[in-house]
Amino acid sequence: MMAIASRPGHWRLVAPLAVVVALALLWSGYWLWGSAKAHGEVVRVQADLARQGLDIACASKSHGGFPFRFSYTCRGIEAAGSTGWRASAETLDVLAQSWDPGHLIVRLTGPLRIVAPAGETWTVTHKPAIASLKLRRAGAQGSLLAEQVMAQGPGSDILTVKRLNLHVRLPEADLAQIAVGAAQTVAPDMVVVATGLDLTRPQRRALRLDSLEAEATLTALPVPFAPTLEENLRAIGAAGGTLRLDRLVATAESVDVDASGSVGIGADGLPEGRITMRFSDIKLLFARLAERDLITRKAADGATVVVGLLTAAGTSQGLSGPVDLRFKDGAIFWGPFRIADHGPLF
């Protein structure tokens, strides 16, 4: 009788363990289902990219992350485009928390090598670059963080960036149209923050940009993307796309600049638009340009006087009055100066 009476107490001890085991089994089942679904999504994305002319291959790949993540690792990644461009990197890792599969974290371990169709090669070294992609009801948000970047092209020019942070947001309406295959154009918002940009060229003084912050919107960006830059520019021109620069603040060797405006591409392939700029020190700006042989000393002195007179009015917050960078009829004007002529972009 004593043994029978004590059984309810034993069940009270076993019940918590049974609940834990049941939850573990349910979670394991969910993870296996989610992992299989993630695997299928990777295969689908690769197939979609291949149909668009981008083949991606891995020397080896693996799936994992149990129990709290879904992860995919591609080692020895090779990408080849239908236009002849190729790229390779050491490792690509993609992961998502099990409870938030709509938020992807991507890590790229370099060096990254990019090869043009004619054989020119660019090599980019960096700390592992981290990207984030969030798919939400309110739209899609993506960001990229790359540090200690050094890019060297086929010549001897070297571009280094201490820190680069890029954010892109796609509105809900655009994302909804893409999901049903109805979108023709989208309008992404972009924010760029960079520090320590240096361009080193043979036998020339390095060009340095201490810091850069920019906010912009690219209207009427056609999707899906075309395989070449020229075709994309043509599609943007046909759709009336415009790069709207809401704000740009930069500092380069004690010269500050503040800019805003917009530039579009006409159906003839010629850019049209205006960027309004303000500088902290016009005289120092032209002195810096002369130091790098971008203009002569004599031209720098003359330009300082002319631009100084034009911008004397409207000074505010330590900056000069506005001076415009204009794109018109295949020419580029900066203030009163015609600084370049060019043909159509496509």
- Comparing 8 with 221, the larger pLDDT belongs to 221
Average pLDDT for 143-153: 94
Say yes or no to pLDDT of 303 above 80. no
What pLDDT is recorded for position 19? Answer: 83
pLDDT bin (cut points 50, 70, 90) of residue 2 is: very low
Report how far residue 249's alpha carbon sits from residue 99's, in angstroms, rounded to the nearest whole number.
39
Strand 189-200 and strand 207-219: pairing? antiparallel
Taking residue 116's Cβ as centre, other Cβ atoms within 10 Å add up to 14
Supply φ then ψ for residue 311, to 5 degrees: -105, 5
Report how far residue 65's alpha carbon sits from residue 61's, in angstroms, rounded to the nearest whole number.
13
Q: Which of 19-23, 61-65, 267-271, 328-332 has the lowest mean pLDDT?
A: 19-23
pLDDT bin (cut points 50, 70, 90) of residue 313 is: low
Report how far residue 103's alpha carbon sits from residue 136's, in angstroms, rounded to the nearest whole number.
9
Residue 111 region by backbone torsions, left for phi larger than 0, else alpha for psi between -120 and 50, else beta: beta
pLDDT in tens, 37-50: 888 888 888 888 88
What pLDDT is recorded for position 131? Answer: 95
- Tell me the torsion sign for CA atoms 278, 324, 326, 261: positive
Residue 71 region by backbone torsions, left for phi larger than 0, else alpha for psi between -120 and 50, else beta: beta
**Total residue length of the chain:** 346
pLDDT in tens, 226-252: 777 888 889 888 888 899 999 999 999
- Comparing 274 with 16, the larger pLDDT belongs to 274
What pLDDT is recorded for position 1? Answer: 42
Q: Which CB contacts under 8 angstroms, 24+ apart, belong to 81-84? A: 81/53, 81/54, 81/55, 81/227, 82/53, 82/54, 82/227, 83/53, 83/117, 83/227, 83/228, 84/116, 84/117
**CA torsion, ordered 212, 216, 222, 225, to nearest 10 deg:** 20
Count of CA atoms in the C-beta half-sphere (13 A) of 176: 5
Average pLDDT for 284-297: 80
Supply φ then ψ for residue 175, to 5 degrees: -65, -40
Average pLDDT for 51-66: 90
Q: Using an 8 Å Cβ cutoff, are 243 and 262 in contact? A: yes
Count of CA atoms in the C-beta half-sphere (13 A) of 275: 23
Say yes or no to pLDDT of 151 above 90. yes
Say yes or no to pLDDT of 6 above 80. no
Average pLDDT for 172-195: 76
What pLDDT is recorded for position 147? Answer: 96
198 residue type, one letter: D
Alpha-helical regions (H) of the chain = 2-51, 172-179, 229-239, 282-291, 297-311
Report how far residue 173's alpha carbon sits from residue 176's, in angstroms, rounded to the nearest whole number.
5
What pLDDT is recorded for position 212? Answer: 96
Domain ranges of the chain: 22-121, 126-179+190-214, 225-346
Output DSSP code: residue 272. Answer: E
Both structure tokens of 74: 């591609």
Say yes or no to pLDDT of 161 above 90. yes
For residue 137, give the H/E element and its range: none
Report how far residue 145's alpha carbon sits from residue 168's, in angstroms, rounded to the nearest whole number.
12
CA-CA distances (angstroms) from residue 224 to 2, 38, 52? 76, 23, 9
What pLDDT is recorded for position 52? Answer: 76
The model scores a pTM over 0.75: yes
> Closest Cα to residue 101, out of 173, 170, 186, 34?
34
